[in-house]
């Protein structure tokens, strides 16, 4: 698509498009990269553009920032949408860039919105043109560039991270729209209370575009008082903000960040924070069954045998969601999350499993010791399969003290180290007691005498 994303047709323009900042001084937010002394701020101020990747959530000003970079550098701008453009559109844009350079000696900035949607070959198409200086490249993405963009492209462009716009900054953007008679809400005497402005900001969830869309929607529900001042009653405001979903984007960064922080809150014994993130994900449209599955993981990974009831409760919550759906299932999942967050914590099972898997994968397989092999046939009995096996139930206390169930070279191997938290404390004490029986059995069997080897050594 060769037409600039910034060139809008005449006629109606949404408030968000009308209020797009035209100069750097009007840009609100992102002070961490757009304050005096910051490299990007100084580059824009000095008209010195460079290739960059702008990474941040929707509505945080990526497209606007690209426009300001091009404007300050007085560069020709080619804009592409990775959603709508293909190799043909990329080639046409690059051809025009080469013509600008050869005919007019003018720098071209190629801006690609949603650049993460381009495949590897499409991203690679820009590399030689960036390399020889024909173009400067600006890509905008809501996804992590480390995962979605080629290393070759990343090495040629500086990555700038745009953050969610704070509520205070959103209020300033709202006030800017109300005060601008030309591009904003027009020459209207609109009055919103501080509380109403903060409610708009909260509903926007860090997205300036969403904020301005909500404000424009409210413009049709304003009421004039006797003095001509237009106000918004709380009932109409509630209708406008009703049903607004918080940022989630299943499969994107927000999705992974929120399920990760939910897991960390459970692990960190923070039930209130865990419940908040669970509700955020549900409010954002996440499938409750996905969360239920992850809660089962939390029960095994972070609680384990410190409180085995946690796993049962997590599975029950999953079952309730599967059988009954919402809202009953969501309440059951919330119950499981709160229980796990408050339960004693242990990752001993998780650590033991990983250690055992690592050993199995990285070492040669050991045969099952002869005395532990089953002998269902006469031939196998004649070959002494199972000979010498001690049936634990026939032993004192139901424990065959001194018996080894590992391959002989691994006789003393240990993976599982129970903690002193919750039920695992009792498990730890029991295992220590059983090991003491093993030691006593070994001493009884071999005595305390020293065995002298044929080479004069001891063992």
Gap between the Cα atoms of 50 and 127, Å rounded: 14
User: Which CATH number does 253-342 carry?
Assistant: 1.20.272.10
Specify whether the CB–CB gap between 231 and 188 falls below 8 A: no
Using the predicted structure, report yes or no on whether residue 249 has a pLDDT greater than 90.
no
Tokens of 176: 């800017």
Question: pTM higher than 0.75 for the full model?
Answer: no
Gap between the Cα atoms of 456 and 444, Å rounded: 25
The rounded Cα 370 to chain-centroid distance in angstroms is: 50
The 3-state DSSP class for residue 173 equals helix
How sure is the predictor about 444, in pLDDT bands with cuts at 50, 70 and 90?
confident
- pLDDT attached to residue 1: 38
Half-sphere exposure of 436 (CA within 13 A, CB side): 6
| Number of other CB atoms surrounding residue 262 within 10 Å | 24
User: Which CATH number does 167-241 carry?
Assistant: 1.10.8.60
- DSSP assignment of 136-160 equals EEEEEESS-HHHHS-HHHHTTSEEE
Class of domain 369-446: mainly alpha
pLDDT tens profile 205-248: 889 999 999 999 888 888 887 777 888 888 888 888 876 655 55
- pLDDT attached to residue 458: 33
The rounded Cα 143 to chain-centroid distance in angstroms is: 10
For the CA atoms of 271, 274, 280, 286, the dihedral, rounded to the nearest 10 degrees, stands at: -130
Instruction: Please report, for residues 50, 54, 143, 234, the alpha-carbon distance to residue 146 in angstroms, rounded to integers and kept in the order given.
Output: 20, 13, 9, 44
Using the predicted structure, report yes or no on whether residue 187 has a pLDDT greater than 90.
no
Using the predicted structure, report yes or no on whether residue 106 has a pLDDT greater than 90.
no
Tokens of 168: 């205070």
pLDDT tens profile 338-361: 999 999 999 999 999 999 999 988
Specify whether the CB–CB gap between 262 and 302 falls below 8 A: no
Residue spans of the domains in the chain: they are 15-161, 167-241, 253-342, 369-446
Percent of all residues in the chain with a pLDDT value above 90, rounded to a whole number = 50
User: Topology of 15-161 in CATH?
Assistant: Rossmann fold (3.40.50)
The 3-state DSSP class for residue 137 equals strand
Mean pLDDT value of segment 422-444: 89
């Amino acid at each position: 698509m060769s037409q600039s994303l910034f060139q809008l047709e005449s006629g109606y323009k949404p408030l968000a498009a009308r209020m797009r900042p035209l100069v750097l001084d009007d840009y609100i937010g992102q002070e961490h990269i757009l304050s005096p002394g910051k490299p990007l701020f100084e580059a824009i101020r000095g008209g010195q553009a460079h290739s960059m990747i702008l990474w941040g959530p929707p509505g945080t000003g990526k497209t606007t920032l690209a426009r300001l970079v091009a404007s300050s550098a007085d560069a020709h701008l080619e804009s592409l949408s990775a959603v709508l453009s293909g190799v043909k559109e990329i080639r046409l844009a690059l051809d025009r860039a080469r013509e600008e350079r050869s005919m007019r000696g003018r720098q071209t900035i190629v801006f690609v919105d949603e650049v993460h949607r381009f495949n590897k070959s499409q991203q690679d198409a820009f590399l030689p043109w960036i390399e020889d200086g024909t173009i400067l490249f600006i890509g905008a993405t809501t996804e992590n560039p480390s995962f979605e963009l080629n290393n070759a492209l990343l090495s040629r462009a500086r990555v700038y991270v745009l953050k969610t716009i704070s509520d205070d900054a959103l209020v300033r953007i709202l006030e800017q729209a109300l005060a601008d008679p030309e591009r904003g809400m027009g020459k209207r005497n609109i009055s919103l209370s501080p509380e109403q402005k903060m409610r708009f900001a909260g509903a926007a969830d860090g997205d300036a575009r969403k904020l301005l869309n909500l404000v424009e929607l409210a413009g049709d529900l304003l009421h004039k008082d006797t003095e001509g001042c237009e106000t918004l009653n709380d009932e109409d405001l509630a209708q406008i903000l009703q049903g607004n979903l918080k940022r989630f984007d299943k499969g994107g960064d927000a999705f992974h960040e929120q399920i990760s922080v939910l897991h960390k809150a459970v692990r960190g014994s923070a039930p209130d924070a865990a419940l908040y993130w669970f509700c955020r994900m549900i409010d954002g449209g996440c499938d409750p069954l996905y969360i239920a599955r992850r809660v089962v993981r939390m029960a095994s990974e972070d609680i384990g045998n410190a409180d085995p009831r946690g796993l049962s409760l997590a599975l029950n919550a999953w079952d309730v969601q599967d059988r009954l759906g919402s809202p009953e299932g969501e309440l059951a999942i919330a119950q499981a999350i709160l229980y796990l967050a408050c339960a004693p914590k242990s990752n001993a099972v998780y650590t033991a499993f990983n250690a055992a898997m690592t050993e199995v994968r990285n070492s040669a397989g050991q045969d099952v010791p002869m005395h532990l092999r089953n002998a269902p046939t006469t031939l196998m009995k004649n070959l002494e399969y199972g000979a010498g096996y001690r049936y634990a139930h026939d032993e004192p206390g139901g424990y065959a003290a001194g018996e080894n169930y590992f391959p002989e070279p691994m006789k003393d191997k240990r993976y599982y180290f129970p903690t002193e938290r919750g039920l695992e404390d009792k498990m730890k004490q029991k295992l220590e007691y059983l090991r003491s029986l093993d030691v006593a059995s070994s001493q009884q069997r071999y005595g305390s005498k020293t065995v002298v080897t044929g080479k004069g050594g001891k063992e």
